[in-house]
Amino acid sequence: MYQDVVELRSFYEQPLGRVTARLVRKQIASLWPDIGGMDVLGLGYATPYIDTFRARANHVISIMPAPQGVIRWPRHNGSPENTGAHRYKGNLTAIAHEGNLPLKDAVMDRILMVHILEHTEQSRHLLREVWRILAPGGRVIVIVPNRLGFWARTDRTPFGHGKPFSVNQARQLLRDNMLTPTRTISALHMPPFKSRSLLSLMTTLEGTGQRWWHNLAGALIVEAEKQIYATGLKIKEPRRVHRQAIAGNQIDPKNIE
């Protein structure tokens, strides 16, 4: 069962949520240090993590699953920090069903999946759609709760909801759907403290935790690459959706200016 998008937004607006996003973004950046000129999709509730890409990537868009709901993103149109081609006065978020994403084949260079794989009951269809819309050699990062971690044991954060994964489970699920795991790292190595005075420990001890107790991390971050040699398999193409109930616009990234 999905968490409601309003609950997710509320979490990331809190001090704990802001620290969480900052620590996870740091790990994402270590895997994708250069996305200049690429088309990037955030799938699930990924907006706290993809906003920083907008200044460097060619296009950045977001798709949220229908059971989760959708909110407008960016919340402030024409933000001062976005200039030139990246100043987009409109909505970059769509709502869609997991197994029927409103994008053309092979159009995305990078896909970031957050707060979606642990909730969906259609993981096979979802990952096949991810494979379909990834460009040859494209990469996806899947972020899921760690079943051994502190965060999966409490429902005070989004990483305490849905089905947690072990490293092997996450990697095998990707392999089963024609996505080759390349690298696996972790994040959120301290418990999710409520106290503001303890939040600084999460940042200070994150590196130590990654070195000494990474198996207890709150989030697993798995990167995988599209297997282009798997195209010989016969995959039933999902029904194409030409328009979605999205706050405004068609979502094909090639049409975003």
Chunk the chain into consecutive blocks of 10 residues (it has 257) and report each block's average pLDDT, rounded to whole numbers. Answer: 95 96 96 95 97 93 96 69 48 93 96 97 95 96 96 94 96 96 96 86 85 91 85 44 42 45
Q: How far apart are CA 140 and CA 183, in angstroms?
A: 11
Cross-strand bridge partners of residue 62: 42, 93
Q: How far apart are CA 207 and CA 15, in angstroms?
A: 20
Q: How far apart are CA 52 and CA 37, in angstroms?
A: 14
Q: How far apart are CA 162 and CA 115, in angstroms?
A: 9
Report which residue type is found at 150.
F
Q: How far apart are CA 215 and CA 217, in angstroms?
A: 6
pLDDT at 151: 95
Q: Which residues of 195-221 are buried (b: 16+ CB within 10 A; e: fewer)?
A: eeeebeebeeebeebbeebbebbbbbb
pLDDT at 89: 56
DSSP label at 235? -
50 to 118, 158, 175: CA distances (angstroms) = 19, 17, 25
For the chain, the helix, strand and coil percentages under 3-state DSSP, each to the nearest 5 = 35, 20, 40
Instruction: Look up the pTM and report it.
Output: 0.85
Residue tagged 């420990």 (tokens): 201
Supply 142's token pair: 């899947």
pLDDT at 243: 39
pLDDT at 94: 95
Q: Which residues of 7-29 are buried (b: 16+ CB within 10 A; e: fewer)?
A: ebbebbeeebbebbbebbbebbe
How would you list the strands of the sheet with 93-96, edge to edge? 93-96, 59-65, 39-44, 108-114, 134-145, 219-226, 179-187
pLDDT at 229: 65
Q: How far apart are CA 200 and CA 78, in angstroms?
A: 32
Q: How far apart are CA 81 and CA 86, in angstroms?
A: 9
Q: What CATH number has the domain spanning 5-255?
A: 3.40.50.150
pLDDT at 18: 96
